[in-house]
Amino acid sequence: MTPLTEARSRLSEIVDEVASTGSAIEISRHGRPVAVVMGYEEYESLLETLNILADEATMSAIAEAERDVAAGDLIDLD
């Protein structure tokens, strides 16, 4: 976890790091986590995942597909 005062002085370096590595950096204030800096691609991916998880119809279709696979009910595309 990176203290806010340090993050403020190293912001450009932190942005470069998360953009190039795909990592996330937690920022703290008074020892408590208050923010996260992450690369834009990771942010977009996280939002997409959350949207899928929040969509009941999509989650139902995924669960049904998993049951079909477990039961061996597959379609041969060849």
Contacts 24+ apart (CB under 8 A), 39-42: 42/18
C-beta separation of 33 from 1 below 8 A: yes
3-29 residue pLDDT tens:
999 999 999 999 999 999 999 999 999
Backbone angles phi, psi at 27, to 5 degrees: -110, 135
Indicate the average pLDDT of the chain. Answer: 95
Please tell me the distance from the alpha carbon of residue 54 to that of residue 51, in angstroms, as a whole number: 5
pLDDT digits (tens, 9 = 90+) for 24-57: 999 999 999 999 999 999 999 999 999 999 999 9
If you classify domain 1-38 with CATH, what class do you get? alpha beta
pLDDT for 22 = 93
Boundaries of every domain in the chain: 1-38, 39-78
Per-residue pLDDT, 75: 84
Q: Tell me how far apart the alpha carbons of residues 15 and 27 are, in angstroms, rounded to a whole number.
A: 12
